[in-house]
Amino acid sequence: ATANTFLDTLAHHRHHNGQPTTSLAWGYWAQASGMTAHMTTNDINRLTRTGITPLTTQQALTLLDTATTHPHLIPIAINTTRLDTTNTPALFRSLVRTRRTTAAVAAQQPSRLLAELAGLDDGKRAERMLSLVTGEVADVLGHANGYGIEHSRPFSELGFDSLTAVQLRNRLGALVEQPLPATLVFDYPTPLALAEYLRSRITARSASAGGLVTVDDLNRLDAALSARPADDSERVAIVERLEALLSTLSVSGARSRESSEDVLDSLREASNEELFSFVDKDLGL
């Protein structure tokens, strides 16, 4: 990588000085070479699933003939219908078309999944989580479905490497709408262990919600209020809604020593900054 970066930079430097130079970052050639002869069928299938299409020798030579006008180009064939936001390098993300993968659909409606799992008992929740994990494992590895994925077989034996491990982490993170550690498949090295870990994360999150409002909900409220100063009509609406909430909830911490009416009076007279401070501090965020 360092050598490639040096050559790319050298090409730009020479081009700037009027010295014709071109550095090409080649995509995958179908014809085997010293750099690709070691690749297995699984390696090639995984590459094509990311949208990279093998170049025929004729295509590659045609690109070589037309690539002499710029110091640095990437001759590559890409199937844009195979790209999605969970596995596409940043360089290619402007080419992404809408693709409704399992993870993408769940990312659009994460609360639906969490609500579904919350409504199940522990046994059913574990089964559902394992089904989701094996489905994502199969998708990353290019299998038609997760039925053939052995639950207790290590990911390393299933065919995972560092790249597919990151892809699985990203897809599962989108499913559960939570950030997951980069070492996920190493810390939980089988589909069964990983499913149990994710189930425990979701169970803990549901318990912390307590059936009312979550800290995440209050954080979103805080962000919305802080995005821009409220005008008079919005300020009145915010105060009225907070008054209604305070009338049904007990106020903890420092506010517990004040009467509800004192709190309401304070809110009526508060400035925008004081309202934001109330959300930030007095609600325990």
Q: Are 1 and 26 in contact (CB under 8 A)?
A: no
CA of residue 179 relative to chain centroid, distance: 8
Alpha-carbon gap, residue 195 to 218, rounded angstroms? 29
Alpha-carbon gap, residue 27 to 4, rounded angstroms? 14
**Fold held by 2-95:** Rossmann fold (3.40.50)
Q: Structural domain boundaries of the chain?
A: 2-95, 104-209, 215-282
Give, in words, the CATH class of 104-209. mainly alpha
Q: Are 55 and 28 in contact (CB under 8 A)?
A: yes
Alpha-carbon gap, residue 277 to 274, rounded angstroms? 5
Q: What is the pLDDT of residue 177?
A: 78
Q: What is the pLDDT of residue 60?
A: 93
Using alpha carbons only, give the angle 40, 131, 96 rounded to the nearest 5 degrees: 60
Structure tokens at 178: 């939570």
Q: What is the pLDDT of residue 103?
A: 45
Q: What is the pLDDT of residue 176?
A: 81
Per-residue pLDDT of the chain (285 residues; tens, 9 = 90+): 899 999 999 999 998 999 988 999 999 999 988 888 888 877 787 778 778 889 999 999 999 988 877 888 999 998 877 776 656 677 777 777 654 444 444 444 445 677 777 777 778 888 989 999 999 898 888 777 788 889 999 998 988 888 788 888 988 888 887 788 888 888 899 999 999 998 888 776 665 555 444 455 566 667 677 666 666 666 676 776 676 666 655 444 444 444 555 656 666 677 666 666 666 665 544
Q: What is the pLDDT of residue 192?
A: 93
Structure tokens at 224: 């919305």
Beta strands 77-78 and 52-53, pairing class: antiparallel
3-class secondary-structure state, position 77:
strand
Q: What is the pLDDT of residue 250?
A: 44
Alpha-carbon gap, residue 252 to 238, rounded angstroms? 20
